[in-house]
Amino acid sequence: MNATAFDVAHMLAGSVVLVSFMMLYQDRLLALLNVFALHAALLSAAVAWQATIQGAPHLYVTAAIALFFKAMIIPAALHRIIRRLGIHREVEQVVGTGITMLAGMGLVALSISLMLNLTASADALAREDLAFALSVVLLGLLMMITRRNAVSQVVGFMSLENGLILAATGARGMPLVVEISVAFSVLIAFIVIGVFLFRIRERFDTVDDSALERFRGDVG
Amino acid sequence: MAVEFALIAAGALLLTGIAAIPLSHHRRAAELVYGASALPCGFAGVIGLWALVANAAPTTVTLPLGLPWIGAHFRLDGLGAFFLIVLGLGGALNSIYAIGHGRHETEPGRVLPFYPAFLGAMLSVVLADDAFSFLLSWEVMSLLSWGLVLVHHRAGGTQRAGYVYLMMAAFGTMSLLLAFGLMTGGAENYGFDALRAATHGPAAMAAVLVLMLMGAGSKAGLVPLHVWLPLAHPAAPSHVSALMSGIMTKIAVYGFVRVAFDLLGPVPWPMAMVVMILGGITAVMGVMQALMEHDIKRLLAYHTVENIGIIFIGLGLALAFRAEGLTAAAALALVAALFHVLNHSLFKSLLFMGAGAILNATGTRDMERMGGLIHRMPVTAVVFLAGCVAISALPPFNGFVSEWLTFQAILVSPDLSPWGLKISAPAVGALLALAAALAATCFVKVYGVTFLGRSRGAEAAAARETDRWSLGAMVVLAGLCLVIGILPGFVIDLLAPVTQALLGGAMPHQADSPWLTIIPVAASRSSYNGFLVAVFIALSAGTMAWAVHRFASRRLRRAPAWDCGFPDPSPVTQYGAGSFAQPVRRVLGSVLMRAREEVFMPPPGDLRPARHEVHLRDLIWERSYAPLAAFIQAAATRLNVMQTLTIRRYLALVVFSLVSLLVVLTLWN
């Protein structure tokens, strides 16, 4: 593997992490969806590059799935949902942007120091890739707990899935079946959550999950 | 081939258990199932006896069961063969007893499927040769016996007994799991061969031994983990209590011996001292609580605790001698412990069977309502007396021999060099002597109050002798107790291959000694001749009986019973179980159990009866189990909040736990 190939792979995976950070401070839903589409597109590019340098053509299929479903279909569908719900202008933030970003940086530092220690025997590309993938997963989780809106929680969940796909493609020899099943599980999760959003909306007139807490008698 | 045959016996028992499910409503189900259980047990006992007598090399077999690619390994060696004898003999006689006793069972459908499968599980514990099969069999054994404890689940106290037993069993298995995990030392092989080959530092060894004491000790009834025995044994049907007390506790001892003597290397002497002292405390606490008890089955359960203590004294001594390289003395102590395992399985099964017969005849376990049963149940009275004499360690019965051997091992203890052992071994010897004396006191109480005197209740007055199957099994057990007591040399020689394999040494060969004498160390030091003692006892007692009948008046006299200071005709005023325990209660009970007596004398003119009440406290329960239960309760109440968090808080909880685990992992590396 030459240095250019490594640098490009490093850059693409690093940009996925960077876009995860961008998602953390998007306080408008439409902007968030656009950033998520970018996230998925970058993931697709990273996977395609992995396919090239690993000489594994089946990863192109994974890249195509990521590009088609995650960068196009899902963001478009979510666009439709939030327009139909009429919440595309809402601003939501639970924890301040500064604190969230600091926490995100801490998580990235944690995952890099952990992964680089644990995978000392693996090759350099896989190590970097796994460290970035774990960062993306943790940032997705962070996003899910700092958001209150169900739609942005769904987006956080799917960015977490992107991290998993990044990890799966970084490791050599992962069979295609796994990726397809991951992609479809995300799709199904998206459908289910979409249906639930409408249900919640019908009942409570909002997709803010603190309404659920009020309904249970807890203080939101 | 031996191990295959033993496995077939275990499999036959498990299949009998399954076959008993549809059968259990059949009219003759009890006869069929118990009869079908007795055969494989007897077969297994014969295999064990054959393997020991022929001194057969260990045989192994691997079955494609359990974990895929690993399979289940089984092995039969000397130690396993000895416990196979204990299990087979006890199981077979107990099943024969159950053919008769089981007819009185009100809920056969709850007993019949579990009983043979329980025997089969115990058999496979003894045969297991890898940690997975061992733990699986152990857990199956625990759960099946739990099912048997809960047979009469509507009776008062049974549910609590089952709960405590389940908790202790789960705790024990968890300790065993950790012990085996430590023993592998990180290697990914759980076969006993690999465990034997692994070497450990002193800290790991001590940890394994402590975990084994907790795991096997909680099953065997080592103080302070004995609390389930006095609850579970009375709750279970009598033939099951005989099995649990006589056999299952021995399987727990087997687990300890297998690990401490076979799999683990020589443990350092401080750990041996811990085992020995725990054994001494267990013996005294068990017998003290037994002495205060008036429920006959609870009393017997406490005596099981005492005898487990005696066994562990022997095991601790053997570990100490082995740590100091005194092989012959170690062999003596181990033989004493294993001999007591066999003896206890015989006489405790016999006593529990007798208790079951009494329970059937009188409908009560309360000794204060019995009395005079010797007239109504003459055969039971004789065999029960044999059991009482044996457990009280009186010659010429078998209990004496094993306790005597334990004392001989204690007398060798001055040869040990560490001062800790030099001081603690005689102290433990004193505890053992105290326990033995108190046990004799206790069984004088049991026998006197239950069988002698006059009936204290209408049920006891109307009691009838039990059935022939039960009597047959009890007579055989009593006979075995006597025969082994008279011919102990054969058992000692039988155990020689076991100690040879575990310790690399054996006791002197006994069959060569003249007149069936046993010589544990050297003829100049000590020897015991059960045969001559038995002959002497028979001759002197016979002569005395003959002389009394010959020279005393032959005229039949009828006089008021117990008339010396006993003019009151009410049988309740007889010397009772509580009266018997009073001296010991006042001397030792006031310290160990905070015994307190309360006398209420009504003032003149008051119509209330006078009362004398005894208050006993179980300090072990109050000081350890009750605070633990209270702590768990309080923690559960606090953690109840976690049941009703909001979605985001749950998510945050997941994330924070994940992140903190990752941080720990980072720092760890």
Cβ of A216 and B658 within 8 Å?
no
Question: Residue B143 and residue B138: Cα distance in Å, rounded?
Answer: 9
Cβ of A141 and B647 within 8 Å?
no
Cβ of A114 and B655 within 8 Å?
no
Question: Does A179 have pLDDT greater than 70?
Answer: no
Q: For residue range B329-340, list pLDDT tens digits in order.
A: 999 999 999 999
Enumerate residues 6+ apart whose C-beta is below 8 A from B368: B294, B449, B456, B576, B577, B578
Question: Which H or E run includes B600?
Answer: strand B596-600
- To test the contact with chain B by mutation, choose from A99, A114, A193 the residue with the greatest count of B C-beta atoms within 10 A, namely A114
Question: Residue A21 and residue A44: Cα distance in Å, rounded?
Answer: 18
Contacts of B659 in chain A (CB under 8 A): 107, 110, 138
Question: Does B374 have pLDDT greater than 50?
Answer: yes
Q: How far is CA B428 from CA B82, B275, B434, in A?
A: 27, 11, 10
Contacts of A216 in chain B (CB under 8 A): 644, 646
Residues B395/B485, Cβ–Cβ less than 8 Å? yes
Q: How many A/B residue pairs have CB atoms within 8 Å?
A: 44
Q: For residue range B93-151, list pLDDT tens digits in order.
A: 999 999 988 887 888 888 899 999 999 999 999 999 999 999 999 999 999 999 999 99
Cβ of A118 and B662 within 8 Å?
no
With bands split at pLDDT 50, 70 and 90, how would you rate the model's confidence at A115?
Answer: confident
- To test the contact with chain A by mutation, choose from B643, B644, B645, B647 the residue with the greatest count of A C-beta atoms within 10 A, namely B647
Residues B398/B481, Cβ–Cβ less than 8 Å? yes
In SS3 terms, B73-124 reads as EEEECHHHHHHHHHHHHHHHHHHHHHHHHHHHCCCHHHHCCHHHHHHHHHHH
In DSSP terms, which residues pair with B315 in a beta bridge? none
Q: What is the DSSP letter of B179?
A: H
- On the CB side of A140, how many CA atoms lie within 13 Å of its CA? 21
Q: For residue range B221-263, list pLDDT tens digits in order.
A: 998 899 999 999 999 999 999 999 999 999 999 999 999 999 8
In chain A, the number of structural domains is 1
Q: For residue range B410-451, list pLDDT tens digits in order.
A: 999 888 888 888 899 999 999 999 999 999 999 999 999 999
The confidence score (pLDDT) of residue B207 equals 93
Torsion, CA B203, CA B209, CA B214, CA B219, rounded to 10: 170
3-state secondary structure of B393: coil
Q: Work out the minimum CA distance from A185 to partner chain B, whole angstroms.
A: 20
Q: Work out the minimum CA distance from B651 to partner chain A, whole angstroms.
A: 6
Cβ of B655 and A145 within 8 Å?
yes
Domain positions in chain B are: 619-668
Contacts of B652 in chain A (CB under 8 A): 145
Contacts of A111 in chain B (CB under 8 A): 662
Contacts of A94 in chain B (CB under 8 A): 648
Question: Does B650 have pLDDT greater than 70?
Answer: yes
With bands split at pLDDT 50, 70 and 90, how would you rate the model's confidence at B562?
Answer: low
Cβ of A110 and B659 within 8 Å?
yes
The confidence score (pLDDT) of residue B520 equals 81
Q: Work out the minimum CA distance from B664 to partner chain A, whole angstroms.
A: 10
Percent share of chain B, pLDDT over 70: 98
CA B382 centroid distance within chain: 23
Enumerate residues 6+ apart whose C-beta is below 8 A from B367: B294, B295, B296, B299, B446, B449, B450, B576, B577
Question: Does B172 have pLDDT greater than 90?
Answer: yes
The confidence score (pLDDT) of residue A220 equals 43
- To test the contact with chain B by mutation, choose from A102, A141, A159 the residue with the greatest count of B C-beta atoms within 10 A, namely A141
The confidence score (pLDDT) of residue B57 equals 86
- To test the contact with chain A by mutation, choose from B645, B658, B659 the residue with the greatest count of A C-beta atoms within 10 A, namely B659
Residues A167/A126, Cβ–Cβ less than 8 Å? no
Question: Residue B392 and residue B435: Cα distance in Å, rounded?
Answer: 10
Q: Select from B290, B315, B316 the least CA-distant residue to B304.
A: B290
3-state secondary structure of B290: helix
Percent share of chain A, pLDDT over 90: 19
In DSSP terms, which residues pair with B73 in a beta bridge? B62
Class of residue B106 by CB neighbours under 10 A (exposed 0-12, middle 13-18, buried 19+):
exposed
Question: Does A177 have pLDDT greater than 60?
Answer: no
The confidence score (pLDDT) of residue A139 equals 93
Q: What is the DSSP letter of B587?
A: I
Q: Which of A114, A209, A213 sits opposite B665 (nearest CB)?
A: A114
Contacts of A117 in chain B (CB under 8 A): 666, 669
**Token couple for B108:** 């056969």
The confidence score (pLDDT) of residue B616 equals 86
Q: Work out the minimum CA distance from B207 to partner chain A, whole angstroms.
A: 29
Cβ of B648 and A145 within 8 Å?
yes
Give the mean pLDDT of chain B. Answer: 89
Could you check whether the bond before residue B396 is cis, i.e. omega within 30 degrees of 0?
A: yes
Q: Select from A64, A32, A69, A58 the least CA-distant residue to A45.
A: A64
For A211, nearest residue in chain B (alpha carbons): B646
Question: Residue B290 and residue B303: Cα distance in Å, rounded?
Answer: 6
Q: Which domain holds residue A195?
A: 3-216
Contacts of A113 in chain B (CB under 8 A): 666
Q: What is the DSSP letter of B223?
A: T
The confidence score (pLDDT) of residue B232 equals 92
Cβ of B644 and A144 within 8 Å?
no
Contacts of B658 in chain A (CB under 8 A): 138, 141
- To test the contact with chain B by mutation, choose from A145, A157, A210 the residue with the greatest count of B C-beta atoms within 10 A, namely A145
Q: Select from A19, A23, A7, A21 the least CA-distant residue to A44.
A: A19
